[in-house]
Chains A and B, each alone.
Chain A
Amino acid sequence: MSTALLHIDKVNKHFGGVAALSDVSLSIQGGHIHGLIGPNGAGKTTFFNVMTGLYRADSGQFSLDGQRYEPSSVHKVAQAGIARTFQNIRLFNAMSVLENVMVGRHIRTRNGVWAALTRHRRAREEERQTREHARQLLDYVGIGQFADYRADSLSYGHQRRLEIARALATEPRLLALDEPAAGMNLSEKQQLRELLEKIRDDGRTVLLIEHDVKLVMGICDQLTVLDYGQVIAQGTPEVVRHHPAVIQAYLGASAHV
């Protein structure tokens, strides 16, 4: 049994009187693509936001790579090794594609004010490496030719890749993607699938919220299904697909798959 990279135990979150998350637990193995699915309003994005520090949970334990972490501030979570993308693609629009990824390198680099002013040798070297690393990431996700374009001038599919490249630049232990296939057509989804598989095969761990069930069944190693803020099923796609609670949640009690 491989060790869990991310282990989250019994997260609870209320908004006023509504229990958005009830005792949600999740365990992601290293090197897996782990899917988080469920009907609309099930609490997937809420869980995501709690995990990455955007919301504060009422209770719950979080640990990454065996170490407890407090998701109390977004930037600390990112520094600890969880990089996320956003459902509605949030790029730095006025910056170039390359610069967006370079910002992703920020927490793994050190140049400060003194370095900026004097541009001494180590500073220049770090800047060169940052640029190089960013270019490589752009090539890795397949948009290297757009490096100098303005970020918001890219097509939708390419913007998604840029966001992924930017997240990868932070050298995350866990790449957390919030509905990366939203709004994509069939061929874009296929390309995304290939990219995600490449990322997984290169040893990274991915957590994925997705609505596209076919995509999710196709690439995920493990799935967690949420409904009304609770985990109703957990396991491989095969297991989950035939799970009666899952079928009921998506299709209603009398449906058969």
Chain B
Amino acid sequence: MDTLIQQLLNGLMLGSLYALVALGYTMVYGILRIINFAHGDLLMMGALIGLSIIRLLQSLFPGMPGLLVLLLATLGAMAACAALAVLIERVAYRRLRNAPRLAPLISGIGVSLLLQTVAMLVWSRNPQMFVQLLPLDPIEVTAGDELHAPAITNMTAIVTVGIALSLMAGLLLLVNHTRLGRAMRAVAENPQVASLMGINPNQVIVLTFAIGGALAALAGIMMASNYGSAHFYMGFLPGIKAFTAAVLGGIGNLKGAMLGGILLGLIEALGTGYLGEATGGVFGSSYQDVFAFMVLIAVLVLRPSGLLGERLASRA
């Protein structure tokens, strides 16, 4: 039986991952008003590309320290997914900017299928073991007693949360305090007027996709590191949940995506834990995913603008 602290720790780690991916959804939505259905699969590609880089480095430079390998793989995967995201925007979304709303969504579904297929072709359908290069030794956070096991975490989880939080802070800094960030916010408000001010909306859009892709890749690698495996379908559920997180926080709002991500992670961890306890293990972890969907439906029905989103103009 896990203690509250343990649940919170799990939730925090999970939430950081969701937050990273949610940022990509919310940024693209803020600028283009579309849901990038293929975003979750960028997480998957990041993990698998990272895995390939790790394997390559380890076979070429067997003496390289694990941390360095992981670092290089992560950077490489982030760059690759950034490029991939830009490609997706160019091919699948750019022409559809003025099309009815269903068109980019369906196109995104197609891209998602395509990415999964490519992953199946390159890395086969079997789950791939993800080499865990960060120590997994449990670190006790609280002392245990006769009834409860000590709440534990490990280096991987700590690094995950740490990197996620720093990147989020960095992104906020970029968006709120730099010229580039100002340009991004301007395009999100009104692309035509922004272009009249000399900003090239396409450049900003491309940059947005690239950042989103890189963050997703990072989340993918962290996720694979934590769970020890990666496979072609691993992006689907996290993608939906990250979208839920973005909506929960208020779609289009960066801080909202971060808040929503962390919150959703906590809700999931606590919810499954306590539901499991309450029902004697009957409705337990297998219903974990249902939580995210329930949250999604609840938010969209009760408070569609999310926690930090602006209230929509009052309509009768």
Least CB distance, A56 to chain B, in whole angstroms: 4
Contact mask A162-189 → B, CB, 8 Å, 1/0?
Answer: 0000000000000000000000000000
B315 surroundings in chain A (CB, below 8 A): 54-56
Interface flag for B302 (CB, 8 Å): no
Judge whether A53 and B313 touch: CB under 8 Å. no
Interface flag for B196 (CB, 8 Å): no
Closest residue to B316 on the A side, CB-wise?
A: A56
Judge whether A71 and B316 touch: CB under 8 Å. yes
B314 surroundings in chain A (CB, below 8 A): 55-56
Judge whether B316 and A74 touch: CB under 8 Å. yes
Interface size (A, Cβ < 8 Å)? Answer: 9
A54 surroundings in chain B (CB, below 8 A): 315-316
How far is it, in angstroms, between the C-alpha of A188 and the C-alpha of B79 when the chains are bound?
Answer: 59
A72 surroundings in chain B (CB, below 8 A): 316
Most buried by A among B313, B314, B315, B316: B316
Judge whether B316 and A15 touch: CB under 8 Å. no
Contact mask A73-107 → B, CB, 8 Å, 1/0?
Answer: 11000000000000000000000000000000000
A71 surroundings in chain B (CB, below 8 A): 316
Contact mask A35-57 → B, CB, 8 Å, 1/0?
Answer: 00000000000000000011110
A15 surroundings in chain B (CB, below 8 A): 313
Within 8 A of A (CB), among B279-316: 313-316
How far is it, in angstroms, between the C-alpha of A48 and the C-alpha of B313 when the chains are bound?
Answer: 16
Closest residue to A53 on the B side, CB-wise?
A: B316
Interface size (B, Cβ < 8 Å)? Answer: 4
The majority secondary structure among interface residues of chain B is loop
How far is it, in angstroms, between the C-alpha of A74 and the C-alpha of B315 when the chains are bound?
Answer: 10
How far is it, in angstroms, between the C-alpha of A54 and the C-alpha of B316 when the chains are bound?
Answer: 6
Within 8 A of B (CB), among A82-135: none
Least CB distance, B316 to chain A, in whole angstroms: 4
B313 surroundings in chain A (CB, below 8 A): 15, 55
Contact mask B188-211 → A, CB, 8 Å, 1/0?
Answer: 000000000000000000000000
Least CB distance, B219 to chain A, in whole angstroms: 37
Contact mask B236-277 → A, CB, 8 Å, 1/0?
Answer: 000000000000000000000000000000000000000000
A55 surroundings in chain B (CB, below 8 A): 313-316
Least CB distance, A77 to chain B, in whole angstroms: 9
Least CB distance, A2 to chain B, in whole angstroms: 30
How far is it, in angstroms, between the C-alpha of A176 and the C-alpha of B315 when the chains are bound?
Answer: 20
How far is it, in angstroms, between the C-alpha of A235 and the C-alpha of B91 when the chains are bound?
Answer: 59
How far is it, in angstroms, between the C-alpha of A56 and the C-alpha of B312 when the chains are bound?
Answer: 13
Least CB distance, B288 to chain A, in whole angstroms: 39
B316 surroundings in chain A (CB, below 8 A): 53-56, 71-74
Closest residue to A76 on the B side, CB-wise?
A: B316
Closest residue to A14 on the B side, CB-wise?
A: B314
How far is it, in angstroms, between the C-alpha of A72 and the C-alpha of B316 when the chains are bound?
Answer: 5
Least CB distance, B138 to chain A, in whole angstroms: 53
Contact mask B112-132 → A, CB, 8 Å, 1/0?
Answer: 000000000000000000000
How far is it, in angstroms, between the C-alpha of A74 and the C-alpha of B313 when the chains are bound?
Answer: 16
Least CB distance, B35 to chain A, in whole angstroms: 25
How far is it, in angstroms, between the C-alpha of A172 and the C-alpha of B314 when the chains are bound?
Answer: 27
Within 8 A of B (CB), among A1-53: 15, 53
Contact mask A181-205 → B, CB, 8 Å, 1/0?
Answer: 0000000000000000000000000
Least CB distance, B240 to chain A, in whole angstroms: 32
A74 surroundings in chain B (CB, below 8 A): 316
Least CB distance, B134 to chain A, in whole angstroms: 50
Closest residue to A52 on the B side, CB-wise?
A: B316
Closest residue to B314 on the A side, CB-wise?
A: A56
How far is it, in angstroms, between the C-alpha of A254 and the C-alpha of B314 when the chains are bound?
Answer: 40
Within 8 A of A (CB), among B5-50: none
A73 surroundings in chain B (CB, below 8 A): 316
Within 8 A of B (CB), among A52-70: 53-56
Closest residue to A13 on the B side, CB-wise?
A: B314
Least CB distance, A72 to chain B, in whole angstroms: 5
Besides A71-B316, A72-B316, A74-B316, 12 other A-B contacts (C-beta < 8 A) = A15-B313, A53-B316, A54-B315, A54-B316, A55-B313, A55-B314, A55-B315, A55-B316, A56-B314, A56-B315, A56-B316, A73-B316
Going nearest first, the 4 A-B pairs with the smallest beta carbon separation are A56-B316, A72-B316, A53-B316, A56-B314
15 residue pairs of the A-B complex, CB under 8 angstroms, read A15-B313, A53-B316, A54-B315, A54-B316, A55-B313, A55-B314, A55-B315, A55-B316, A56-B314, A56-B315, A56-B316, A71-B316, A72-B316, A73-B316, A74-B316
* Chain B residues packing against A (C-beta within 8 Å): 313-316
